[in-house]
Amino acid sequence: MTPILHATGMSRSFGGVHAVRDMSLEVAKGSITGLIGPNGAGKSTLFNLLSGVIKPDGGTVVFNGRDVTSLAPWKRARLGMIRTFQLAREFQRMTVLENLMLAPQLQLGETFWPNFLTPGKVRQQEAEIYEKACEVMEIALLAKLRDTYAGDLSGGQKKLLELARTLMIDCDLILLDEPGAGVNPALMQTLTDMIRRLNRDHGKTFLVVEHDMDMIAQLCDPVVVMTQGGYLTSGPFEEIRQNPAVIEAYLGETADV
């Protein structure tokens, strides 16, 4: 499968600590690729390097055939690479509907002159965005919460809202940073099903960092394993969980792998 994301030789140190060292990673287009490893393996730092939140000391990131290593996160987003965060970053005093309608980039109404020179186009675009937001709320099972302030949602509902916002944006790759964190069991399956639907029905490619191995097992193929800031192995989850090197990296805690 063609890689949509190809990172080579990624390295980053903080003082004397090598958080990521010479790490390479490929994400095939159309896949749901998992990224796992014990605490301190460097997963979050690698995610920040891939998304442009922090700059690497070395290495390159190629997205859809373009070198994006030096690009800011918002520029990568405009190219179609979106990321979520472990702690949801919703606009708390805006409703679910308003959060979704704010997500599309380069809206005409956000600049001064179109509101006066082409108000009809502004209204037409806003109507289209509203219609799309209503469709997305149905997909994300958030329609009944459309007028609820985002800050009043549960942890799981906020994660659903984050995923829903990615549907409002023309993106190809979604980097999910621990989507299951803070999600109660009742909503975990809903979240898992939504990721699967976005992949299958909407053509979204995912790279998922997650500690919940049940979610990884359900969703991800392949699974990439990091340890001590670098690459350890990759493959189907069932092979990964039986790999002696992976078990050793997790200190023999087989229940976590």
Say if CB 240 and CB 248 are below 8 A apart.
no
Mean residue pLDDT of the chain comes to 88
**pLDDT tier, 246 (very low <50, low <70, confident <90, very high otherwise):** very high
Residue 21 pLDDT exceeds 80? yes
Provide the percentage of residues in the chain whose pLDDT is more than 70: 91
Three-state SS across the chain? CCEEEEEEEEEEEECCEEEEEEEEEEEECCCEEEEECCCCCCHHHHHHHHHCCCCCCEEEEEECCEECCCCCHHHHHHHCEEECCCCCCCCCCCEHHHHHHHCCCCCHHHCCCHHHHCHHHHHHHHHHHHHHHHHHHHHCCCHHHCCCEHHHCCHHHHHHHHHHHHHCCCCCEEEEECCCCCCCHHHHHHHHHHHHHHHHHHCCEEEEECCCHHHHHHHCECEEEEECCEEEEEECHHHHHCCHHHHHHCCCCHHHC
**pLDDT tier, 252 (very low <50, low <70, confident <90, very high otherwise):** low
Residue (of 142, 120, 121, 124) closest to 133 by Cα position = 142
- Span 74-103, mean pLDDT? 86
Angle at 67 between CA 63 and CA 70, to 5 degrees: 110
pLDDT of residue 7: 97
What is the architecture, at CATH level 2, of domain 3-90+171-256? Answer: 3-Layer(aba) Sandwich (3.40)
* Amino acid type, 45: T
Where do the domains of the chain lie? 3-90+171-256, 91-152
pLDDT of residue 176: 92
**pLDDT tier, 255 (very low <50, low <70, confident <90, very high otherwise):** very low
Residue 235 pLDDT exceeds 80? yes
**pLDDT tier, 164 (very low <50, low <70, confident <90, very high otherwise):** confident
Q: Which pTM does this prediction carry?
A: 0.83
Residue 111 pLDDT exceeds 80? no
CA distance 127 to 145: 20
Residue 204 pLDDT exceeds 50? yes
CA distance 165 to 159: 10
**pLDDT tier, 109 (very low <50, low <70, confident <90, very high otherwise):** low
pLDDT 10s digits, 25-79: 999 999 999 999 998 899 999 999 999 999 999 999 999 999 999 999 999 988 9
CA distance 206 to 195: 8
pLDDT of residue 257: 46
